[in-house]
Amino acid sequence: MKQFLITVAGVLVGLVLFLVVAPIVVVSLLVSSASKAPAAPSKMVIALDLREELTDQRSQNPFASLGDGANILDIVTKLDAAGRDDRVKGVFVRAATSGLAPAHAEEIRDALRRFRSHGKFVVAHAQNEDVRMSMPGYVAVADADEFWLQGVSEFMPMGLSAEMSFLGGTLARYRIQLQAEAREEYKNALNTLMEEGFTPAHREATEGLLNNLYAIMLRHIAEDRGITVEAARAAIEATPMTSERAIELKLIDKLGSPEAAEAAALARGGQGAEMIQLSAYTPPSGSGPVIAVVLGEGEIYSGTSENSPFGESGAMLGDDISQALLDASEAKDVRAIVFRVSSPGGTIAASDQILAALRTARERGKKVVVSMGSMAASGGYYVSAEADEIVANPTTLTGSIGVFGAKVVLGPALQHYFSVRSDRISVGSPQIAMFSPNEPFTPAGRQAFAGFITRSYEEFMGRVAAGRHLTRDQVHASARGRVWTGEQAKERRLVDHLGGFDTALVRARALADLRPDQRVTLRYYPSQKSPFEALSALFGASTETARAAVLLGAVLGDERVSELLNAARSNAAVRAREALQVE
């Protein structure tokens, strides 16, 4: 009886989920797949909106295609394809006023410059809305043929700043203690929880990063606007300024509304040109040798997304990324692998698992090129260390070769504020309770924990030394937990080439003995589940069963289908055709 009730409950839960998910998600898929996409116009101007939040890579969520979220890799690859497409005449960009990472701005800038090298145009428009224009947002589009600013918007890319809130005093006030071990002095990820302001090392590292990022961006602005670096610096440091003054200093070209700038872009496209969104642009089909692209974005943890039918976002899971590298290395038609890493780090165990898979891929004869996104630091650098080559943008944040660990001690706070007392009975190692949040480390526990952190740090430096062909002393000079820009990392032999995803593809072609300009087919790993595969995992059914059930439920529940059936009964053929038309 118990098993029967469990089975019935499972069926009811699955039915409820089915009735909720199917009408919302799959009706859209059914209707969109049933309708034919309109033929692409013979003259196109691509519309690119950088104001929305951008991820580095495409989501592994099988239902991500239902949203409009953009990602850097799709922007770059589509712009490169559009540059070679005779139907595409130009690009109209709505510039970001905030929220764009420096390395992402560089990657978009480089993609737009390559696009223009094919004789195409770029028109950009910025519209500040109660926020200052970010310096990276300006860098991304400063090279446009026409840079427009709305007349009432002032020009405000005032530079770079790093503002942090420190909670060390707050935790102390509430009798909460954070006990941490870090290797070494620049490994400052926990400083905001332990300190009441910048430590000397933290300040030194942050100022070094900001100054280098600022210098790189000034060089980009000077080159793109046809002025000297000194003039670019003077102009930026004189902001905020009126839009008229920005024109005088050659920082922008024209004033006007977004609609006026869009009309100017369409006029440049020629008579009959049509504006289409980048997300709707489908490059001409083609084929070539296969280069695998392994996607890794987010913090690095152990585990897999297989237990979640909707996929994981914002994390590099050890099982998934390792399997992706192994699958790519097993595919006989894959000529090389580009491993795109965009991560602030994570656990050493998961990082080492991924690095081991990368090592296996190389042992199987595949060349591996790492393409670093906006950040590939700490564990993000760990997983990259043994690649054949590493490519980073000049403003990518990387390095942070160091380790930290901590525990939060809540026992005194719970006792003081809530009269909660903890007691314990245990057997086994004397250190079995060393990670208990109810009491601080004992001296022996602290020593054991410090030993683990030190060994992990030495292991990290050893991996880097082996992968980068450096001595331990050379690695240590660039380690100590310090974060570098890609430009600084190249000077320290932590990076081989400066550039974005396109540069990584060029290097992968070279290592695979392909021509630098040879068209290739990109195959992405991990492969994205289809919505039907996700639903099959959710309901515990086969993909075919889930597909049939969902389609049946969607069809019977769709008002347009009901209208079609009524129309058929009354022989109203016209109404039937209208009922199936997608609005």
191 in a structural domain: no
Residue 345 has pLDDT above 50, yes or no: yes
Interval 354-368: pLDDT, tens: 999 999 999 999 999
Say if residue 443 is in the same domain as residue 580.
no
- Over residues 469-497, the mean pLDDT reads 97
Q: Which residue type does 569 have? A: R
Interval 221-270: pLDDT, tens: 999 999 999 999 999 999 999 999 999 999 999 999 999 999 999 999 99
188 in a structural domain: no
- Over residues 382-409, the mean pLDDT reads 97
SS3 213: helix
Residue 22 has pLDDT above 80, yes or no: no
- Over residues 383-401, the mean pLDDT reads 98
Most distant CA pair in the chain: distance in Å?
87
Q: What is the pLDDT of residue 132?
A: 65
217 in a structural domain: no
Q: Indicate the pLDDT class of residue 64, thresholds 50, 70 and 90.
A: low
| Sign of the alpha-carbon dihedral angle for 554, 557, 560, 562 | positive
SS3 269: helix
Residue 478 has pLDDT above 90, yes or no: yes
Say if residue 443 is in the same domain as residue 510.
yes
Interval 80-91: pLDDT, tens: 999 999 999 999
Say if residue 402 is in the same domain as residue 512.
yes
262 in a structural domain: yes
Of 30 and 174, the structure prediction assigns the larger pLDDT to 174
SS3 471: coil
- On average, the pLDDT of the chain sits at 86
* CATH code for the domain in which residue 335 is found: 3.90.226.10
Q: What is the pLDDT of residue 535?
A: 52
SS3 294: strand
Q: Indicate the pLDDT class of residue 284, thresholds 50, 70 and 90.
A: confident
Write down which residue in 480, 503, 525 finishes a domain.
525
215 in a structural domain: no
SS3 146: strand
Report how far residue 241's alpha carbon sits from residue 234's, in angstroms, rounded to the nearest whole number. Answer: 12
* Of 127, 135, 47, 146, nearest in space to 88 by CA: 47
- Burial of residue 323, with CB atoms counted within 10 A of its CB: 0-12 exposed, 13-18 middle, 19 or more buried: middle
- Over residues 529-549, the mean pLDDT reads 51
Report how far residue 302's alpha carbon sits from residue 487's, in angstroms, rounded to the nearest whole number. Answer: 31
Report how far residue 352's alpha carbon sits from residue 316's, in angstroms, rounded to the nearest whole number. Answer: 13
Structure tokens at 565: 């059936």
Residue 581 has pLDDT above 80, yes or no: no
Q: What is the pLDDT of residue 534?
A: 52
Say if residue 274 is in the same domain as residue 402.
no
Write a three-state SS string for 314-347.
CEEEHHHHHHHHHHHHHCCCEEEEEEEEEECCEC
Structural domains counted in the chain: 3
Say if residue 473 is in the same domain as residue 325.
yes
Where helices occur in 163-228 by DSSP H, the ranges are 168-173, 191-194, 200-225
Say if residue 443 is in the same domain as residue 548.
no
Say if residue 378 is in the same domain as residue 273.
no
Interval 432-455: pLDDT, tens: 999 999 999 999 999 999 999 999
Say if residue 417 is in the same domain as residue 452.
yes
Say if residue 520 is in the same domain as residue 537.
no
Say if residue 326 is in the same domain as residue 434.
yes
* Of 302, 298, 381, nearest in space to 71 by CA: 298
4 in a structural domain: no
Q: Indicate the pLDDT class of residue 61, thresholds 50, 70 and 90.
A: low
Write the DSSP symbol of residue 23.
Answer: I
Pairing between β-strand 274-277 and β-strand 44-49 as defined by DSSP bridges: parallel
DSSP string, 275-291: EEEGGG--PPP---SEE
Say if residue 538 is in the same domain as residue 511.
no
Structure tokens at 454: 């030190």
Q: Which residues contact 325 (CB under 8 A, 6 or more apart)?
A: 294, 337, 339, 354, 357, 358, 360, 361, 368, 525
Interval 142-192: pLDDT, tens: 999 999 999 888 888 889 999 999 999 999 999 999 999 999 999 999 999
209 in a structural domain: no
Write down which residue in 490, 525, 560 finishes a domain.
525
Q: Are 464 and 385 in contact (CB under 8 A)?
A: yes
Report how far residue 576's alpha carbon sits from residue 59's, in angstroms, rounded to the nearest whole number. Answer: 37
Q: Indicate the pLDDT class of residue 576, thresholds 50, 70 and 90.
A: very low
73 in a structural domain: yes
Q: What is the pLDDT of residue 42?
A: 87
Q: Are 47 and 78 in contact (CB under 8 A)?
A: no
**Rg, Å, the chain Cα set:** 27
Rounded to two decimals, the pTM is: 0.84
* Of 114, 106, 203, 125, nearest in space to 162 by CA: 203
CA distances from 488 to 99, 168, 189, 212, 396 (A): 23, 31, 20, 8, 10
Q: What is the pLDDT of residue 462?
A: 97
Length of the chain: 583
Q: Domain range holding 320? A: 290-422+429-525
Write down which residue in 228, 260, 280 finishes a domain.
280
Say if residue 402 is in the same domain as residue 263.
no
Q: What is the pLDDT of residue 525?
A: 96
Q: What is the pLDDT of residue 522?
A: 95
Give me the residues paired with residue 398 across strands: 376, 484
Treating both helix axes as pointing N-terminal to C-terminal, what angle do 102-117 and 501-511 enclose, rounded to 10 degrees? 70
Q: What is the pLDDT of residue 286?
A: 77
Q: Which residue type does 451 have? A: G
